[in-house]
Structure 1
């Protein structure tokens, strides 16, 4: 980041769409917020007072196929990861997110429409210095063959995400790069969520994917991609997993000075790593102002050899 000051939106901006899992339409409105307030979701209702929930590790209710936030009374809003990724990726520290439905709209399946909305609203610097969560030692979580690990990295926030699917059209893919606003916009924001045709009936029977369509999801059958327009990137699948990681790691509550490596990860693993980090007070500290020498787009590596790294034992 070039700015050492906290930011918020310059004005309100709204989006409307359907939730990918519940299939319910909702209007999403982003509003300015004061320094040190972070990202706060406000769920509005026609017949009762709004329910407010701050984005934090403690607010997470579920991470199965989406990130769900709530409180002791239950879930407040689900599928928040793309909105959180856009705010974190663009360096928006504080915002009020008002929503009149149970789920953040999926829009086109990526964070690009949210980035466009933030651009329409504008971003304003506030009179308080930005705070960072600086990782001091490695924190690692393993789930079978999958792992996620945060480790010290003073040059900003670096992602190294690798996926592996038993599908000829995906296989093993890797994304690695320092995440800055320029890199997030160019390399990650437009990558869409994806799924497999064989799983649709099972997911819908379980209450998921009821709003999914070829307009908001990259769908694969045994032969390849069903979407008529094809892919936006040849490795769109790993880029979307990297986008999700940016959003899930924002549950830490502050931007990270760290390197995040994951193999065969997802929402649950990303959250587990955040939870493990914050549970160990010796693993992090809070600092003001960015580390010196950070450069937008530094060390971006896309499409590296698939064996660049794998689970360590």
Structure 2
């Protein structure tokens, strides 16, 4: 956790787009320190590079979409969540279509591919965005806030007027291990009546029971059922991890969300970044952290000695 990272080798991931239904291939390539996560649309006459940061978000209605010069990449949140949880700071992502492949509707495939490729430590130290004062946004019955914490933690509450969902609550201290075992395999979800409406309007063309939990009037339509009894709130946490990674730095703070979604998550990130009195950049001090970690072991964030960047 002291130094920035990238992948040890390139990896290719292919699937269909949730909204276009078109086949899409991505190639994830190692990058140098300070690069960040950069998507490259390579299907046009000239490649267009789009850094995965909040300032480049152009749409949050159906997914988190980043764009530049009229070119965009949609549905980045699941991949971004996997990169964030696995601690990958720098990466080039070549993509030949307008959206990240939906895979099975979760981040599990991305996590598995990242682990198979391996993570390489780079020479530059990692900086963290440490929250110093609370920041809150409220829109009707939706609310999201971030408060100081020594870790990155997400607490989420949802409430749907459907017997298959109802009220669900979960909190997690985000780490590679906790994300992989508790969050990564939670799938995106939607109501059957909404899916049919979206398809009629040219959206969700790639959506199916193979890449989403679909809820009918009488219950879950997927024959295999749910992966967790609270899979819905777990997926909301997955989305939030991806959305908050667009702050541009790993966060030391506790996100508390009630009925939030991509739009409100993005607005809070923007509000946080626009409030420099509420945060500061810090970096891990290697010489102080190593005795607590042990040579060759990655430390939890709490074990790191932090100094002002």
After TM superposition, the score normalised by the length of structure 1 is 0.90
1:93-172 map, 5 Å? 93-154=89-150, 156-172=151-167
**Could you say which residue in structure 2 is the equivalent of 1:198?**
193
Deviations, residues 264-297 of structure 1 (Å, cap 9, x unaligned): 0111111011010011111111110189789769
Q: Name the stretch that deviates more: 275-284 or 287-296.
A: 287-296
**Could you say which residue in structure 2 is the equivalent of 1:182?**
177
Decide whether the 8 Å contact of 2:48 with 2:71 is kept in 1. Answer: no
**Unaligned ranges ≥5, structure 1:** 299-313
The structural deviation recorded for 1:205 is: 2.9
The structural deviation recorded for 1:36 is: 1.2
The structural deviation recorded for 1:206 is: 3.0
Matched, 1:281 2:276: yes
- Aligned residue for 2:73, secondary structure, equals strand
**Could you say which residue in structure 1 is the equivalent of 2:230?**
235
What is the alpha-carbon distance in structure 1 between the residues aligned to residue 210 and residue 108 of structure 2? 14
Decide whether the 8 Å contact of 1:38 with 1:94 is kept in 2. Answer: yes
Find 2:64's aligned residue among 64, 67, 70.
67
What is the alpha-carbon distance in structure 1 between the residues aligned to residue 54 and residue 193 of structure 2? 33
**Could you say which residue in structure 2 is the equivalent of 1:18?**
16
**Could you say which residue in structure 1 is the equivalent of 2:306?**
none
Runs of 4+ in 1 over 4 A off after TM superposition: 290-298
**Could you say which residue in structure 2 is the equivalent of 1:77?**
73
What is the alpha-carbon distance in structure 1 between the residues aligned to residue 300 and residue 34 of structure 2? 25
- Aligned residue for 1:35, secondary structure, equals coil
What is the alpha-carbon distance in structure 1 between the residues aligned to residue 48 and residue 301 of structure 2? 38
**Could you say which residue in structure 2 is the equivalent of 1:54?**
51
What is the alpha-carbon distance in structure 1 between the residues aligned to residue 72 and residue 42 of structure 2? 10
Deviations, residues 82-105 of structure 1 (Å, cap 9, x unaligned): 110000011111111110011100
- Aligned residue for 1:207, secondary structure, equals coil
**Could you say which residue in structure 2 is the equivalent of 1:310?**
none
**Could you say which residue in structure 1 is the equivalent of 2:2?**
4
What is the alpha-carbon distance in structure 2 between the residues aligned to residue 65 and residue 161 of structure 1? 19
After TM superposition, the score normalised by the length of structure 2 is 0.91
- Aligned residue for 2:220, secondary structure, equals coil
What is the alpha-carbon distance in structure 2 between the residues aligned to residue 227 and residue 38 of structure 1? 37
